[in-house]
Amino acid sequence: MTTAILSALPEEQSSLVQHLSHPQRLMHAGRAFWRGELQGRPVVLALSGIGKVAAATTATALVERFGVARMVFTGVAGGVGEGVQVGDVVVASEYLQHDMDASPLFPRWEVPGYARSRFACDAALSALLSGAARAYLASAEGQLGLNSMGGQVPATSAAPRVHEGLVASGDRFVCAASEALHLRGTLQAAGHDVLAVEMEGAAVAQVCQDYGRPFAAVRTISDRADDTAHVDFPAFVRTVATRYAEHILLGFMQKL
């Protein structure tokens, strides 16, 4: 049973490629895929690209061309939930598209044809991801993660935490505090308590639902989706998020 590991950004993928045994690079649909073994188990490492359409194409290729049995997404996200801080980790329990709006034909956020707005992640895979994330953050290496930003990350009062809950995807980089507040508030008023925003996960969750493949996702919080969201983003991805992804996914593959 082959596991697909999707990353949004090349930096995140390359930290995992280094650990592959029998690596084999293949191009398909204009994307690079890496086949090999991680912790002795067959994997395909894939780049999702940025945004929902690119991610859906990658996810579809992973099923149709590579026959993967399950998918795990690793990447970064903007924290919008209360207490979801830079350097924390969010494991998605469900996904929603925050920019889906076919109202008044369908209720706001409902995906037409699916009679739902939320797509559930696989509980067993998510539990493994949470366990691996907690183990990493508790380790000496995990404690170093944020410090490697050399003080660029605002000091948080608490140690990094793992959160589990709803993540929202949309084709927008949310980078205004007012927008983040509005997005969270309108969703909350409809009973959707969102922890974080990103740009791909809900698309992959929908493709996995279509093909009956289990899906789980782990996101490192790179920003608070506010007016400074873009400032340290590249440095954060390079120095912190790649390290989180590498260690959490290696721990996950070991327990699979």
Annotated active-site positions, please? Answer: 12, 223
Could you tell me which of 211, 236, 218, 213 has the C-alpha nearest to residue 86? Answer: 236
Residue 227-256 contact track with ligand ADE, rule CB under 6 A, x = bound: --x---------------------------
Question: Under a CB-based contact definition with an 8 Å cutoff, are residues 5 and 16 in contact?
Answer: yes
Helix (H, G, I), strand (E, B) or coil at 61: helix
Q: DSSP class of residue 241?
A: I
**Which tokens hold the place of 109?**
């956020």
CB of 90 to ligand ADE, least distance (A): 11
Asked, as a colleague might, if the bond just before 107 is cis with ω within 30 of 0, I would say no
Maximal CA-CA distance, the chain: 52
Query: Given the complex with ligand ADE, which of 64 and 227 has the nearer CB atom?
Result: 227
Applying CB under 6 A, among 38, 47, 68, 77 the residue interacting with ligand ADE is 77
Applying CB under 6 A, among 222, 244, 245, 253 the residue interacting with ligand ADE is 222
Question: Under a CB-based contact definition with an 8 Å cutoff, are residues 235 and 149 in contact?
Answer: yes
CB of 8 to ligand ADE, least distance (A): 8
Site for ligand ADE in 193-212 (CB under 6 A): 197-199
Interface residues with ligand ADE (CB under 6 A) are 76-78, 173-175, 197-199, 222-223, 225, 229
